[in-house]
Amino acid sequence: MVQRNKLFAFLLGLWVSAAAQAAGQAYALPDLERLALESSRSMMAAREQVEAARYGVRSASAFPNPEIEYLAGTMRSRAAGGNSGDARSATLTQAIDLPWVRGARIGAAEAGVQASEAGLRAFEADLLASIRLRYFEVLRRDAELRNAREDLALMESVRSRIALRVEVGEAPRFELIKADAEMMNAQKSVQAAGFRAEQARSHLRQSVGAGLPADYSLRGSLREVPELLPIETVRQALPEGSPLPVLTLQDGTRADLQAMSRERPLLIYYWASWCAVCRFTTPAVEQLWQDGENVLTVALRSGSDDQLRAGMAKKGLAFPTHNDEQGALAARWQVSVTPSFLIIKEGKVVSSTTGWSSRWGLQLRLLWASWLA
């Protein structure tokens, strides 16, 4: 009995250790695909259908079995002179398939195998496509959650600074009320982003199967985005005292960046029509422009003026845009990555970031820049 308890404790320890190791493992996309192909019940059922179809070919290829019939009994004749007594008989019957019938039956069974194998390949492709889609969806939702938390932390810092200015009488109390409202919005954004992230994780685990632990983590990124150059490097590209360029926009008007950044911080958004991440950030910048924020965008190597104008119209974009068709302005400011965000105040670059950013994050950076001395 003692030995049995020790064996049970040993096996339980191995199971707990294996479960802990699985829970702590970070899964890359190939790991998830392999795990799904091994543990998906739907995949197992599709493989069983192929095996059943192959056995169907064997059945169709087999010749009919012979049939033996044996009869025994007592026979009595009611007519005069008839035979009476025990009667026994045995019959052997062998059915013979016509060649064209048997060949057609085998052909139909083989076609069933091919159909089952094609169904298996199609199901496998659908399964892998679903896993890849949901894998990147989890990465995206996790990135949104991280950005929402960063936005909340930035808003807390801005709110503290505003509270101090209100306390010493440098700002009206209305600014603090507005900051509190923005804080609540940032908190709601974190909660919503967390819910979407958990939902995406649940969908991925549903696709992979029970082999994926509930508290799994992923290895990978949406895209490896190079770090933007430090602000001092960007500032050195704009020597002290040299005016910011006057840009010609898509509608033919001219934008004086020096004048535009004098009263309010100016957000300059570098994007491109071929940029994959920009399709997530461009709507946020458009919304900022619609809300009245000080925004100007630069389209980097996105075709001619007519091509860019047609593409923006198709996507419903109305924000002011300068077409940097050859990348001359980007080279001057040493911007090589899209999307990139520069915030300019009074002719100086005070903030820069690259990669995905939410509308709240950009709005908070503009608010933070407005409080800089």
pLDDT, tens digit, for every residue of 159-199? 888 888 888 887 788 888 888 888 888 888 889 889 989 99
Verify that 168 and 280 share a domain, yes or no: no
Verify that 319 and 241 share a domain, yes or no: yes
Q: What pLDDT does residue 233 have?
A: 59
Verify that 250 and 364 share a domain, yes or no: yes
List of long-range contacts for 281-286, beta carbons under 8 Å, 24+ apart: 281/339, 281/356, 281/357, 282/315, 282/317, 282/339, 284/357, 284/358, 284/359, 284/362, 285/319, 285/359, 285/362, 286/316, 286/317, 286/318, 286/319
Verify that 38 and 166 share a domain, yes or no: yes
Q: Specify if 92 maps to a domain.
A: no
Q: Phi, psi at residue 246, to the nearest 5°?
A: -100, 120
Q: What pLDDT does residue 295 have?
A: 93
> Of 8 and 361, which is predicted with more confidence?
361
Q: Specify if 261 maps to a domain.
A: yes
pTM over 0.85: no
Contact between 321 and 299 under an 8 Å Cβ cutoff? The reply is: yes
Percent of the chain with pLDDT over 70: 85
Verify that 124 and 267 share a domain, yes or no: no
CATH number at residue 356: 3.40.30.10
Q: What pLDDT does residue 173 have?
A: 84
Verify that 158 and 33 share a domain, yes or no: yes
Indicate the pLDDT class of residue 19, thresholds 50, 70 and 90.
Answer: very low
Select from 161, 183, 218 the last residue of a domain: 218
Verify that 118 and 210 share a domain, yes or no: yes
pLDDT, tens digit, for every residue of 73-106? 777 766 666 666 677 888 888 777 777 777 888 8
Q: Specify if 311 maps to a domain.
A: yes
Verify that 179 and 50 share a domain, yes or no: yes
Verify that 235 and 330 share a domain, yes or no: yes
User: For 62-66, 146-150, 159-163, which range has the lowest pLDDT when averaged over its residues?
Assistant: 62-66
DSSP class per residue in 190-230? HHHHHHHHHHHHHHHHHHH-TTS-TT-EE---S--PPPPPP
> Of 19 and 247, which is predicted with more confidence?
247
- Tally of CB atoms within 10 A around 260: 20
Q: Specify if 71 maps to a domain.
A: no
User: For 59-63, 124-128, 229-233, 334-338, which range has the lowest pLDDT when averaged over its residues?
Assistant: 229-233
Q: Specify if 173 maps to a domain.
A: yes
- Tally of CB atoms within 10 A around 68: 10
What is the C-alpha separation between 319 and 297, in angstroms, rounded?
7
pLDDT, tens digit, for every residue of 303-333? 888 889 998 998 899 999 999 988 888 887 7
| Residue 2 scores a pLDDT above 70 | no
Percent of the chain with pLDDT over 90: 7
Verify that 358 and 310 share a domain, yes or no: yes
pLDDT, tens digit, for every residue of 207-243? 888 788 888 888 887 664 445 556 555 555 554 444 5
Instruction: Count how many domains the chain has.
Output: 2
| Residue 249 scores a pLDDT above 80 | yes
Convert 55-64 to b/e letters by CB count within 10 Å (16 or more is b).
ebbeebeeee
Range of 129's domain? 27-54+101-218
DSSP structure class, residue 150:
H
CATH number at residue 198: 1.20.1600.10
Range 49-54 average pLDDT: 84
Q: Specify if 344 maps to a domain.
A: yes
pLDDT, tens digit, for every residue of 274-310? 887 788 889 989 999 998 999 999 998 888 888 899 9
What is the C-alpha separation between 227 and 225, in angstroms, rounded?
6
Q: Specify if 72 maps to a domain.
A: no
Q: What pLDDT does residue 322 have?
A: 93
Q: What pLDDT does residue 243 have?
A: 57
User: For 42-46, 55-59, 229-233, which range has the lowest pLDDT when averaged over its residues?
Assistant: 229-233
Verify that 248 and 344 share a domain, yes or no: yes
What is the C-alpha separation between 18 and 12, in angstroms, rounded?
10
Verify that 208 and 243 share a domain, yes or no: no
What is the C-alpha separation between 27 and 162, in angstroms, rounded?
43
